[in-house]
A and B are shown apart, each in its own frame.
Chain A
Amino acid sequence: MQKWIRWQGLGVFVGVVALPCIFWFLFIDGIVKGVIQKYGSEAVGAKVELRSADLSLFPAGLELKGLKIANPDEPMKNAVEIARTNLNFDTLNFFRRKVIVEQMTLDGIRLNTPRKTSGALPGATPKKRATKKGTIRPGKKKGLCGGKGLPALKMPNVTEVLSKEKLPSLELVTSLKGQIEQEKQKWQQRLASLPDEKTFQSYKGEIQKIRGGGAGIAGMLASGGKAMELKKKIEADLNRIKQANADFQKETSTLKQKLADAKKAPFKDAARLAQKYGFSKERLANMSQVLFGAKICTWMEKATNWYEKIRPILERAKQKKKGKVVVKPLRGKGAFVKFKEHNPMPDFLIKKANASIITGAGDIMGIIKNITPDQDVLALPLTFSFKGDKLKNINLVEAKGALNHTRPQAPKDEIRFLVKGFKTKGISLLEKSKNPIILQKALADLNIKALVQGQDIKVNVLAAFHSASFSVKDQEGKNPIMEAIFSALKNISNFIVNAKVIGTLEEYDIKLSSDLDGVLKKSAGKIIAKQTEQLRQKLSKAIMDKVNGPLSDTAGSLSGLNGIQQELSKRLNLGSGLLGNLGKPGGKKGLKLPFS
């Protein structure tokens, strides 16, 4: 036995085991600090800095001081700064490799604080939003955010409008002229194919011959037969001319109608263009979209961005192998296969976090419960509740919500945000316009309800403003429409704006309505109607100037068809006269031909 056992080895073993423990107590805090900074920075895409970390095992806990997380999109700002973070772990679960935080305290949270040095990581670019299915792509927004642009608040220049637009009236006149010329040619060819004066002269000669025909009964019978034959020929020719005349009448009547339409066309063009370029009443009816749309769109984009940043905390990638859940491994580190637990607990859970956010207006206190990426294991949603009252410029701010991912295939997140008595100051509306309208001051009450189910989003924003006053920066000199809108806004002190966002996180539509719309429509409507009518008249005149020349030419061409009409009438008269003469007695023998 003694040959195989070396008892002094036991002492060495104790030394070997003690060494890492000593190392732990001496260096673990520095290691934790380094790990948080390294992996935090990698995850955020910007610098994560920590002043100190203190890890203890009995009782298990961690205290972080001076945590600063830089904003990857604005490196000279910290997205979040937390003065002190204290976590108490469940020791037993900690040894089972489960981080279960019973209580977490976040003291002195500050958002968007300035940095002295850049928080950008060397060589790193701001993180783009993922493009795979189920995640956000950069702003493809319908409606307000789709870049429809603000309507022009001044009447456009007529010359500019006409240089941009094609005029159907001018095209109509030009094509009509071509059509008339074609008709002219066609009728000249048809006239040539019809019996003319020569033809009728030859018939006249034949009649003379028949009248001077043979004497006696036999002679008279022969003349009668010839006369009948000639009569039929003349009647057939006359019918051809009559048919041509009827066709001609019909076609000229159509052309005259088209000419009449062409004369009206410039006015139609003017009305259409005035509607398109003018500031119509209908557009005034959507003034709330124009005034608040861009702002709400920007807020929505920021909100969806933050939501996408938070969402991975609630869900993590898992795959199943033969029905077992396998958490994705790091390369070369293997994979962890999970089995059913008697008392299932997530790998990471913060049961309760108390947070105090320091804002310029005052402190906002809140509680967040059940922070875990494994809500399906915990079977409880993340809930949060923040409240701040009697703040500077805000009477009450409250945010409550539940992010429910307990069924990962059907996540449902609900957030409610309430603000009461918010004293707004200098909110610039129509920022992209040359005449920005400024909501100088107002007392606002906001009620926002947001629901995200999978990729579908539904948000309802109800904002009620009291004691409002507007001003306008008139950079373009006097503008009657702008003045009309502004004079209407001057008399408004209370108004409500309602925004409804419906769609998916990738593509949503914002619909805005407000009682401002009706007021603005009523107050500025008359001026707008007058302005639009002036524009229409100017456009009519300008279009007529362009169309008048070609129109006169076209009318002249149509008059040119009168010659054809005269020729047809002449031939009809000749034929009819000849047929009439055949019925009368003539010649020396006074023979009356049997035509009449």
Chain B
Amino acid sequence: MIRMIARLLKVLNSESEPGQVSLAFCFAMIMGFTPLYSLHNIIVILLVLLIRVNLSGFLLGWAVFSGLAYLLDPLFHRIGLALLTASSLEGLWTALYNMTIFRLENFNNTIVMGSLFLSLVLFIPLYIVLNLGIRKYREHILAWVQKTRFMQAFKASKLYRSYQTLSGWRG
């Protein structure tokens, strides 16, 4: 837990662009929400590795969203089932169903469809919100936090030492 908070602080305080951190969390949401062994996750991994996003943020976000996914599985199933059984989309699904690549993707699985749909819908809003949040944090909160007595005490703590250790890692 201490390491987790330390990582979060490191990510937030890092030199990375807020956009890189936000994008990492958004990709982590797709990877965490949808079942791991899905074809689209290979594309997500490729993008995460190819685009200069914050890898620490991605790994942290993946862990958090994977945990959340266990709780949200029933919701994903409902959304997926509603989409897959919607008569207006039947033509689209039938066409995809007859394509090998989409069968490999398991798009006709209710949880895959529900979780992928929800994470794609939330992708841009989450990116904007996180971007904004990180900027605000760095502008207003970070400097103030650094000066507080609590932070002074914190810097002397084990937690901060963990953070220091991690700060040596490249993000």
Q: Taking beta carbons and an 8 Å cutoff, which residues of A are in contact with B?
A: 3-7, 9-10, 12-13, 16-17, 92, 95-97, 321-322, 324, 326, 329, 332-342
Contacts and interface: CB of A to CB of B under 8 A. Distances in A.
A116 B111 CA distance: 46
A96 B107 CA distance: 12
Contacts of A329: 110
B124 interface: no
A474 to B, nearest CB: 71
Contact of A324 (B46, B52, B84): B84
Interface residues of B, number: 31
B94 interface: yes
Contact of A9 (B42, B50, B106): B50
A92 B100 contact: yes
B111 A16 contact: no
A431 B48 CA distance: 77
Nearest to B115: A334
30 contacts: A6-B49, A7-B50, A9-B50, A10-B49, A13-B46, A13-B49, A13-B50, A16-B45, A16-B49, A95-B103, A96-B104, A321-B85, A322-B87, A324-B85, A326-B81, A333-B109, A334-B73, A334-B76, A334-B77, A336-B109, A336-B110, A337-B81, A337-B85, A338-B97, A338-B108, A339-B90, A339-B93, A340-B97, A341-B97, A342-B98
Interface pairs A-B: 6 shortest CB-CB: A334-B111, A9-B49, A339-B97, A96-B103, A337-B84, A334-B110
B103 to A, nearest CB: 4
B25 to A, nearest CB: 16
Contact of A332 (B46, B52, B73): B73
Contacts of B103: 95-97
A209 B158 CA distance: 152
A333 B111 contact: yes
Given A95-B100, A339-B94, A12 B49 contact: yes
Contact of A6 (B51, B80, B87, B98): B51
B112 interface: yes
B100 A96 contact: yes
Contacts of A322: 85, 87
Contacts of A12: 49
A97 B109 CA distance: 12
Given A9-B51, A95-B100, A324-B85, 4 more contacts: A5-B52, A334-B73, A334-B114, A340-B94
Interface string B19-51: 000000000000000000000001001101111
A3 B76 CA distance: 36
B94 A17 contact: no
Is the contact region of chain B dominated by helix, strand, or loop, or is it mixed?
helix
A130 B111 CA distance: 31
A342 B99 CA distance: 10
B91 to A, nearest CB: 10
A3 B17 CA distance: 10
Given A322-B85, A334-B77, A339-B97, A6 B46 contact: no
B108 A337 contact: yes
Interface centre among B49, B93, B114 (most CB of A within 10 A): B49
B76 to A, nearest CB: 7
Contacts of B46: 10, 13
Contacts of B114: 334
A341 to B, nearest CB: 6
Contacts of A17: 42
B153 to A, nearest CB: 38
Contacts of B77: 334-335
Interface in B49-95: 49-52, 73, 76-77, 80-81, 84-85, 87, 90, 93-94
A336 B35 CA distance: 14
A6 B52 contact: yes
Contacts of A6: 49-52
Contacts of A337: 81, 84-85, 93, 108-110
Contacts of B85: 321-322, 324, 337
Contacts of A7: 50
A10 B50 contact: yes
A340 B93 CA distance: 9
Contacts of A321: 81, 85
Nearest to A10: B50
- Most chain A beta-carbon neighbours within 10 Å: one of B51, B76, B100, B104: B100
A1 to B, nearest CB: 10
Nearest to A12: B49
A587 to B, nearest CB: 128
Contacts of B76: 334
Nearest to B73: A332
Contacts of A3: 52
